[in-house]
Amino acid sequence: MGLRLSWLDSLDAPAFPAQAYEQLRQRLPQATPFNSLGWLRAAEAALEPGHTLQVLLGFDRDHLCLCLPLVRMPWRVGPLTLRVVRHLGYPLSDRIGLLIDLPESEAPQVLREVRRHLPHALLQLNEVTQGEPWLLHWGWRSSTYERRRACNVPVHQLSAADRQEVSGDPRYKLRRARKRIAACGAQVRRVVLDANNANDWLTRIAKVEDASWKGDDGVGIFSTPASRAWMIQALSAVAGEGRLRLVVLELDAQCISYRLGLLEQGRLYDYNLAFLPQYAELGSGRVLLQEWIDWGLDDGWQWIDASRVSLENSSHQLHERMSGQVEHLRHSFYSWRVSGLCLGMALRLWRHCQPWLRSNRPGRQPRMPATEHPSAPHRPATGATECPSRS
């Protein structure tokens, strides 16, 4: 194999191989809806000033076998401004698959090229699932490598058993919620978004989120002008491809609660939900989740996927129904530049002092220190940061 690497400064560049990119995305099992070209182009349009996109392409002859859209951004650490490189889509993409269709032997060459073209202190890849041996190779070639668990996402595999009423405590919670909804006269509705109706529906659900606690706290996907523009463009692009689904609870033709999902290869990613606060007691989220399952059975989906949850104390209702979990990881590769070496040294010092600080904190019990990952040159930090939940 003769790997040829090249760079572009935009996904909209005339030279960008859009058709070959889609073929690459379709043949890789780790690809998600957040790798779709429409989603990433919307993310590019929403880049903040000072954030620079560079797209690394890898070809074997005329065959596209690698595409990494990377963003170099400033990072303030005290009085210093360092450079960090992240995958395009951070922080609103729940799960990114690295579009790499190359043997592991090519990993060093690709990392060298990234470091040459985008000098940085830290290369950080968020929301990556297990099964990326490339990243372990990169870890061994970094001054410090940190591998942290972001969250464990519950997933439910659909089966004929889902035609039966769920058992146990979820059954009674679902029954009570349905009785309350029926008593107030609200109705559940399924919506397939497309190029014609996407803007109207996205505007409606954005208003629901604005009125919800997410809007009050400023943590919703539509909460800032930049994120709203990104989401409208990105979700409209997914809707135009026929892969956006919505289940809503309506009362007097008004949307009072919704769940929004992205459909990819038989897997429904439950991306976002919100409800009007005056209807919080209805318990609509559980009813709408059941509607996902029923819809999936009708249309032949294989999985309902929570997409992202909190690292600790997750309240996602799919935990009651899950048949498995998907671990999200955050990989941090510290460079051999002076800035990367200093950051890595600071990280190791922090990890060394952290057990002592915890044990001396009033009212706190000491925790066991993190164990070293066998493939890491330095001890990784695991399970220490919370991944914000949209569900």
**This prediction's pTM:** 0.88
Which of the four pLDDT bands, split at 50, 70 and 90, describes residue 376? very low
List the one residue out of 151, 137, 144 whose CA is nearest residue 375: 137
Q: Which of 16-25, 103-112, 117-126, 348-357 has the lowest mean pLDDT?
A: 348-357
List the one residue out of 35, 21, 38, 26 whose CA is nearest residue 238: 38
Helices marked H in the chain: 18-27, 37-45, 107-117, 133-140, 169-184, 198-211, 213-217, 225-240, 284-299, 338-359
Please tell me the predicted confidence (pLDDT) of residue 35.
Answer: 96
pLDDT tens digits along 221-257: 999 999 999 999 999 999 999 999 999 999 999 999 9
Q: Return the half-sphere exposure (C-beta side, CA atoms, 13 A cut-off) of residue 278.
A: 6
Q: Is 332 helix (H, G, I), strand (E, B) or coil?
A: strand
Which of the four pLDDT bands, split at 50, 70 and 90, describes residue 28? very high
More confident residue, 278 or 388: 278
Q: Do residues 3 and 58 lie in contact, with contact meaning Cβ atoms separated by under 8 Å?
A: yes
Q: Is 221 helix (H, G, I), strand (E, B) or coil?
A: coil
**DSSP character at residue 382:** -
Reply yes or no on whether the pLDDT at 172 is more than 60.
yes
Report d(CA 169, CA 118) in Å as an integer: 53
Q: Is the four-CA dihedral 93, 94, 99, 102 of positive or negative sign? A: positive
Please tell me the predicted confidence (pLDDT) of residue 349.
Answer: 84
Using alpha carbons only, what angle is made at residue 235 by residues 233 and 240, rounded to the nearest 5 degrees? 95
pLDDT tens digits along 41-65: 999 999 999 999 999 999 998 899 9
Q: Do residues 83 and 74 lie in contact, with contact meaning Cβ atoms separated by under 8 Å?
A: yes
User: Distance between the two ends of the chain, CA-based, in angstroms?
Assistant: 44
Reply yes or no on whether the pLDDT at 383 is more than 80.
no
Which of the four pLDDT bands, split at 50, 70 and 90, describes residue 387? very low
Q: Do residues 126 and 32 lie in contact, with contact meaning Cβ atoms separated by under 8 Å?
A: no
pLDDT tens digits along 309-321: 988 878 899 999 9
pLDDT tens digits along 181-217: 999 999 999 999 999 999 999 999 999 999 999 999 9
| 280, two tokens | 């919080």
pLDDT tens digits along 98-134: 999 999 999 999 999 999 999 999 999 999 987 678 8
Domains of the chain and any CATH numbers: 3-150+327-359 (3.40.630.30), 159-301 (3.40.630.30)
Please tell me the predicted confidence (pLDDT) of residue 368.
Answer: 37
User: 3-state DSSP: the chain helix, strand, coil percent, rounded to 5?
Assistant: 40, 30, 35
Report d(CA 19, CA 37) in Å as an integer: 10
The residue with tokens 């990169």 is: 138
Amino acid at 13: A
For 142-173, give the secondary structure using H, E and C.
CCEEEEEEEEEEEEEECCHHHHCCCCCHHHHH
The listed range with the strongest mean pLDDT (28-32, 64-68, 346-350) is 64-68
